[in-house]
Amino acid sequence: MIFTARDLALLFSSTLTFATPLIIASMGSIMSETSGVVNIGIEGKMTIGAFVTAAVGTTVLNPWIALLSGMIAGALFGLLHALACITFKADQTVSGIAINLLAPGCAIFFSRALFDGASQTPNIVLQYKIPRIFVDSFREGGERTTASLALGNYISVYLCFVIAFAVWFFLFRTRFGLRIRSVGEHPRAAATLGIKVRSLRYFAVIMSGALAALGGAVIPLSTVSQFFPAIIAGQGFIALAAVIFGKFKPLNTVFACLLFGFCQSLALLLGNPRFGLNVSPHLLNIIPYAITLIVLLFMGRSYAPAASGKVYDPASA
């Protein structure tokens, strides 16, 4: 088996493509976890974000409005999670599981209601998807060069790294981010300094929902052209695994997402008949999930913020 330069370029480009929704969604998870609220509802929020974006994208015909609509839907589910966990002191894990069940159910229900009983949306017209850059920048004799194959990708691919840097800068280089980290480590001590613990947690959880939905939203506007029930297919849980693998640090998590994206890309590349591998495509498709389990088994301890998952009751402070 020999990989050519063009194969490696495609492997690099598709790795970035597959890692993009994971990076964006994992940044949402970090926002919530850092504030002390466990959020395992990333999968559900990615699903509702993908649906709303696809539904709006087929009618409004503007990818940026569609992305914003998806983020708003995710923020609403984030608000629901915040209400349950912060105001009504529900178990955060149970609330996250409920959202993972509720959000996909809502997506399929509204899809059937809006699109004549179909559980999937119509295809988004190519010209109204997220634009690609650097595709035509490097050509020789009318064909794309290796550099074009490696760098030519959707704007969302490059945007995800900007989002990751912005989350890191916000949490670790701003006063507001310091306060969010403080309520995730010791909310009672933060409250004695006049910090509004519940308000900060509400903000973090709502932003978490918006970012998770954005992670799902980029999928129907880039790699596929519509919403269908299996569009996320466990990527929300892989994003959570990446956060744990990255020890709840944004930049470490980006590298973890790139690893999982590489595994997905490699499985796709090895499925090319040119390599002559007589391996079931179903077996190749389990590579990313198997790597996820292996990484979690051998990575060692990963410490969440001290107050993560713990109910904060200001009345008993």
- Distance of alpha carbon 204 from alpha carbon 33, whole angstroms: 9
Average pLDDT over residues 226-239: 93
Q: Which pLDDT does position 9 carry in this prediction?
A: 87
Span 5-316: which CATH code? 1.10.3470
- Inform me whether the pLDDT recorded for 54 exceeds 90: yes
Q: Which pLDDT does position 264 carry in this prediction?
A: 87
Tokens of 143: 């064909």
Query: Structural domain boundaries of the chain?
Result: 5-316
- Distance of alpha carbon 122 from alpha carbon 54, whole angstroms: 8
Predicted structure pTM score: 0.93
Could you give the residue ranges of the DSSP H alpha helices within the chain? 5-34, 42-59, 63-82, 92-114, 146-151, 155-173, 175-185, 187-192, 197-217, 235-245, 250-270, 281-285, 287-298
Q: Cα 309–259–19 angle (5° rounding)?
A: 80
Give the least confident one: 66-80, 159-173, 243-257, 262-276.
262-276
Q: Which pLDDT does position 210 carry in this prediction?
A: 98
Average pLDDT over residues 174-203: 95
Give the least confident one: 5-19, 236-250, 272-286.
272-286
Contact 57, 219 (CB under 8 A): no
Report percent pLDDT > 90 for the chain. 66
Q: Which pLDDT does position 266 carry in this prediction?
A: 84
Please report the DSSP string for 126-159 in residue order.
GGGS--EESSSSSEETTEE-HHHHHH-EEHHHHH
Main-chain phi, psi angles of 144, to 5 degrees: -70, 140
- Inform me whether the pLDDT recorded for 316 exceeds 70: no
- Distance of alpha carbon 11 from alpha carbon 253, whole angstroms: 20
- Distance of alpha carbon 167 from alpha carbon 239, whole angstroms: 15
Q: Report the sign of the C-alpha dihedral through residues 37, 94, 78, 290, in that order.
A: positive
